[in-house]
Amino acid sequence: MEFVEFIKTPMVNSVTLRRPFTPDMEGTLCVTGHHLIISSRSDNHEELWLLHSNVDSVEKKLSGSGGTLALKCKDFLILYLDIPVAEDCINVASSVLALSNIDDITLRYPFFFRPMFDVIENGWQAFSAETEFNRFKECQEDWRISYVNKDYKVCPTYPHAVFVPKSIEDETIIKAATFRQGGRFPVLSYYHKDSKTVMMRSSQPLSGPSSKRCKEDERLVNSVMGMGKRGFIVDTRAQGVAKMAQSKGGGFELEAHYPQWRRIHQPIERRTSFHDSLIKMIEACNDSSSSMDKWLSKLESSNWLTHVKDILTSSCVVAQSMDKERVSVLVHGSEGTDTTLLVSSLAQIILDHDCRAVTGLTLVDFLLTLPVPGLP
């Protein structure tokens, strides 16, 4: 097996494991193909199994004859391993680094994982576009399932079946998709029974600096509106950001061409700043030596809670527009994959009591409209 190449030192003795807010533990460290195992080997046998793929970063610091490994994991676990021999330390570090970044996706853990329990239900069949559509019975007069994307050609990141307005033919959709970034044309995301309004999602229109327009896209978006009805386009970017996107070929819907829609900007930061913010927050959370003042100012400067608040605010705006003001909503940011996803799924959780049940939550469109699962 290829894994062996990466594992230079399979076992190290008398390693000390340190974790914030937890007593230290001494034991033996083992490196296997998919796991890092630390076992205390004492009477009350504490054992920690860590998946390599869970490791986000490996930092090693050599001091004297030994060294310390700092493993920061994707589930926010932070581990420090004091390894007595420097060579072992270097070997373990390089093994974990290599094993946590294997390129060949078929070597990853899911392909090796064998459940210890009896599989009762086939989870792969649990959710399908068709059953999902049945939940929205009431809107079947105006909407249909389209298989225009069955070969994933129109939009590689959409599922094979999507919900579109009944009055729009597949050819129109194909053309409209060319006007949206990544081909993510407007599709139905949620139908709200109480107010008979819909939430759609898409990516930004590619209007560009010259404010191009696309008849098919306009037809698709406008067809949702009946006579005299109005809708909101909730853009998850600040107005300035949306304008800037124009110079790079993106943009926003001009109200002249989408007369029944009003554009609202609900600024949420871009994905990249979430990441920085998360790193800062995790660091603050795991600093067990910080004083109250330091903790609060670190928490503040991480901006994490500000982002959370922004996302919730935007979702509430969408939910309230649909429920209280009884208007349909189209949500998009830039690519239509990150902030759009956050806002549209949270709005559903706010509006629909089914989405707050265990099976309902899995339904909320994370898997259905995410890029191919598994790609980083």
Partner 1 sequence: MSSVVRVERDFERQRNSDLILHMHMGQVEKLTMTAEGCPLLIRCKNFLCLTFIVPRERECQDVYLSLLEFSRPAEINKLYAFNYTSNESLEKTHGWDMFDLQSEFMRMGAPNENWVITNLNAQYELCDTYPSLLYVPATATTPVLVGSSKFRSRGRLPVLSYMHGENNATLTRCSQPLSGFSARCVEDEQMLQAILRANPGSDYMYVVDTRPKINAMVNKAQGKGYENESFYSNMKFQFLGIENIHVMRASLQKLIDLSELKKPSMNDFLNRLESCGWLKHIAAVIDTSAFIARAISDGTSVLVHCSDGWDRTAQTCSLAGIMLDPYYRTIQGFQALIEKEWLGFGHKFTDRCGLLESVEVKETSPVFTQFLECVWQMMQQFPCAFQFNERFLLTIHDHIYSCQFGTFIGNCEKDRLDLRLTERTYSLWGYLSLHSTEYLNPLYKKTYEIKQPVIIPNPSPQALRYWRGMYNRFESGIHPREAILDIISAAKDHSVSLEDHVLLLEKRVTQICKLLGKSEEAIQRKLQGHVSMDSIEGYLSGHIGDSPNVYTNAATPILSNHKTGPCDTPDAVEMVPLTSKGSFDSEAQLESTKGTSISGSLNHIKSDSESGFDEASSQLSRSGGVDELAGGGGMSMVRSPSSDMLTLEQLVAELKTVAIGWKSFRNVFNCSCASPFDHYVKKFHCWKCGQVFCVRCIARSIPLPGHYHRRPVPVCKPCYREVRRSPSTEFPLS
Binding site residues, partner 1, CB under 8 A: 21, 285, 288, 290-297, 299-300, 303, 305-306, 309
The amino acid at 296: L
Q: What distances in angstroms separate CA 185 from CA 196, 231, 366, one per listed residue?
A: 22, 17, 17
Looking at residue 68, the DSSP 8-state letter turns out to be E
Q: How far is the CB of 282 from partner 1 (least distance, A)?
A: 12
CA angle 278, 279, 284 (to 5 degrees): 95
Q: How far is the CB of 350 from partner 1 (least distance, A)?
A: 13
Q: How far is the CB of 185 from partner 1 (least distance, A)?
A: 35
* Residue 166 φ then ψ, to 5°: -65, -30
Q: How far is the CB of 70 from partner 1 (least distance, A)?
A: 19
Distance CA 64, CA 181 (A): 54
Nearer to partner 1, 272 or 291 (CB): 291
Q: How far is the CB of 266 from partner 1 (least distance, A)?
A: 15
CB atoms within 10 A of CB 225: 17
Nearer to partner 1, 62 or 238 (CB): 238
Closest CA to 332 of 272, 253, 275: 253
Nearer to partner 1, 53 or 313 (CB): 313
Nearer to partner 1, 130 or 293 (CB): 293
Nearer to partner 1, 149 or 277 (CB): 277
**Which residues fall within 8 angstroms of residue 79, CB to CB, at 6 or more apart?**
17, 18, 19, 48, 50, 69, 70, 71, 73
Nearer to partner 1, 73 or 282 (CB): 282
Q: How far is the CB of 297 from partner 1 (least distance, A)?
A: 5
- The token pair at 191 is 């139908």
- The token pair at 362 is 């899995």
